[in-house]
Amino acid sequence: MRSDDSAGDLPRAVGRRTRIGLVAGGLGAYWPQFPSLLPQLQASARRVSERFASMDCEVVDVGFISDAQEGAAAAEKLRVADCDLIVGFLTTYMTASMLVPVAQRSGSPVLLLNLQPTESMDHATFDTGAWLAYCGACPLPEMANAFERCGIEFRSVSGYLEDERAWARIGRWIRAAGVRAAFRHGRHGLLGHLYPGMMDVVTDPTLVSAQLGGHVEILEIDDLRVRVEKVTPAETSERMELAREVFVLDDSVVEDDFRWGATVSVALDRLVSDFDLTTLAYYHRGLDGEAHERVAAGMILGASLLTARGIPAAGEYELRTSLAMLVMDKLGAGGSFTELQALNFHDNVVEMGHDGPAHLAISSAKPLLRGLGVYHGKRGWGVSVEFDVRQGPVTLCGLGQRRDGTFHLIASEGTVVPGPLLQIGNTTSRVDFGRDPGEWTDEWSASGVAHHWALGTGHRVKDLEAVAGLLNLDLTVV
């Protein structure tokens, strides 16, 4: 797999960069009346372009427009560019006819910016020309009305040019556009078969393409097995050395199981590269220690390394959870495969976690590799990842599916707090939601979430509101 500079000890996977289309403008009738106005506004537009370029996104800047004809030309450039978000910078008053074509033809979500030069005008010295540089708020209601009547969804951020509060809000929309891009261009691997009886995790792959974009690639366990068989002993040894750097090896780790997990990890990397996968969900039952059972049981090490590199991998054929993990990873929150474990009414916490792949970047300490004689509810044996999520604010994110087939996001913010943890080869967390854990569990379960979700660090509901807005999904916050 191609990779950029390492994140921690592991290189992050490289995907398509978020592509932002930027157009700035103002009413051309002003330029001959106030000669110094246009240069000032163009300087502001350059500053906005610089700020976007610093956000790790590709900026398609089509320049400054002054009338409807120039707006139409900009619209055509942005249509061809296939942007993930169109940003219209209202530097002063401009007519809706200048921006409506941009929004209509691009087919991309639109963010309108009203960023005046400074916090306020100098009323004692300003003339009409100086005031017009602060007049970006004036056309915002006009744009909103015209967009509504044309059936164009939009969102806006108002502030001033160096207003960090405004740029924090803008940053949410850029991160959300990154999630939209990951879905639009994503390739999501679905390897093996459903875990028998788990009715809540069943997902129609066509609905993913229809509602979120991208493609679901159906994979056989043999697609992985044949790659496992081609891994060389030297490649396995190299992967074992990497694992020793990333993990603490518990005394329970059996050398042969560790070697097997490393071999499967190398093969998983090749599978992801060969099929150009953005995410992976997998499960295979197998029987009596045959090859497929051993391959499926050996995936946790490799799946955790992939997840840490930005390629979320989820067990139990949990496609929607691998997608929720992708959302959290793109927001910079990690995103680890999680389910309920138990409730602690003495400490008022909900204990949650999972065996299987985990997002190593959110561990409170160097993660542990533990040997397991049995995976509960699954066939096979081998090594598993164990850690506690870093203490502090966390957010749960699930992708639910309603009776009519529509997806929706479900989220809840809490705090990971210290206390006793299981030592059974699982990721575990004690999460305080600031309320009775039983009441929280009932409301969370009633939200439509499945029994798996992604757990990430930080309070991310504001980011998820932006994601839901760009993906046209409902968001339920518990």
pLDDT of 376 reads: 55
Question: Two tokens at 389?
Answer: 């999520």
Asked which of 7-16, 102-111, 267-276, 375-384 is least confident by mean pLDDT, the reply is 375-384
Say if 17-183 and 185-477 have the same CATH topology.
Answer: no
pLDDT of 426 reads: 72
Nearest to 109 by CA among 464, 472, 463: 472
Asked which of 292-301, 369-378, 443-452 is least confident by mean pLDDT, the reply is 369-378
CB burial class (10 A; 0-12, 13-18, 19+) of residue 350?
buried
Give the single-character DSSP code of 201: G
- CATH, domain range 17-183: 3.40.50.10940
Instruction: Report, as an integer, the average pLDDT of 453-473.
Output: 95
Angstrom distance (rounded) from CA 144 to CA 100: 10
Domain 185-477 belongs to what topology?
Answer: L-fucose Isomerase; Chain A, domain 3 (3.20.14)
Please give the full DSSP string across 21-37, using - where no structure is assigned: EEEEE--TTHHHHSTTH
Name the pTM for this structure: 0.91
Q: How far apart are the first and last CA of the chain?
A: 38
Instruction: Report, as an integer, the average pLDDT of 418-426.
Output: 75
Question: Each residue of 79-117: pLDDT tens digit?
Answer: 999 999 999 999 999 999 999 999 999 889 999 999 999
Angstrom distance (rounded) from CA 125 to CA 131: 10
Residue ranges covered by each domain of the chain: 17-183, 185-477
Instruction: Report, as an integer, the average pLDDT of 405-430.
Output: 87
Dihedral of the CA atoms 129, 131, 136, 141 (nearest 10)?
A: -110
Question: Each residue of 63-77: pLDDT tens digit?
Answer: 999 999 999 999 999
